[in-house]
Amino acid sequence: MASARGTVAARVPETDEGLQGDELALKYDEMQRHIRDNGWLEEKIEDILKAEIDSGEVLELGCGPGYLGLEWITRADASARLVGLDISPAMLRRASTNADGYGVTGRCTYTCGTVLALPFADHRFDHAISASSLHEWADPVTALSEMHRVLRPGGRYCVSDLRRDVDRTTFQFMKANIAADMRPGFRTSIRSSYVKSEVEEILRGTALETAVVTEVQMGIVITGRKEVP
């Protein structure tokens, strides 16, 4: 693992198949619920709201068990709607159950699919969000371009993820708050995540070239707006 500003280890790509199967989905759900219950989703929700994403029909890429989108929709305008997409059917079953627990089933829809070929029409969504998923995408340029395609002109996006050059103190804190059997996967995710300069290079020459890339303590946030023709 790299130190904060020292030599950063080379990126080691992670699988793009997601966490498949009910047992892994349950363990990941428990981890994400623990993160939510300790308030560690708050920064991500604030980043989304600061990006002026608080209404309309919103797409969540790589939604997993759904906690990010569910926490967001409880604070968004009452008319807001959420469509969560994940490659794992087991995760989507968890997300649907969690939406019922939040009492927002009527405002949420979950779809199985890949970020590399989103199963939605052009200009479908008002906004798009994602967290802790970017490092898993086999082709981030294609995935982000797909996100841009399904956004309406003027639509905003907020994509956050881990970062490989997180400082050691933060890394140890994050690891200590994850169940022991999930820690190897967490380390793998850190190794496969990007640093700011790499994200900027990914965005260069794409439709998201004007996005703002910001470092935060535990990761990276990409925000922007699809230009109106």
Task: List Cβ neighbours of 186 (8 Å cut-off, separation of 6 or more).
Answer: 174, 175, 178
CA distances from 226 to 65, 132, 211, 218 (A): 27, 22, 9, 26
How confident is the model over 128-148, as a mean pLDDT? 96
C-alpha–C-alpha distance, residues 192 and 166, integer Å: 12
Domains of the chain, first to last: 22-226 (3.40.50.150)
Which range among 145-149, 180-184, 189-193, 211-215 shows the weakest confidence by mean pLDDT?
180-184
Query: For residue 196, which amino acid is it?
Result: K
Q: What is the pLDDT of residue 69?
A: 98
Q: What is the pLDDT of residue 7?
A: 77
pLDDT in tens, 26-67: 988 998 999 999 998 999 999 999 999 999 999 999 999 999
Whether the full predicted model's pTM is greater than 0.85, yes or no, is yes
How confident is the model over 187-200, as a mean pLDDT? 94
pLDDT in tens, 153-178: 999 999 999 999 998 898 888 888 78
Task: List Cβ neighbours of 184 (8 Å cut-off, separation of 6 or more).
Answer: none
Count of CB atoms situated within 10 Å of the CB of 7:
8
Q: What is the pLDDT of residue 19?
A: 56
C-alpha–C-alpha distance, residues 199 and 164, integer Å: 11
Cα torsion through 107, 33, 92, 11, rounded to 10: 120
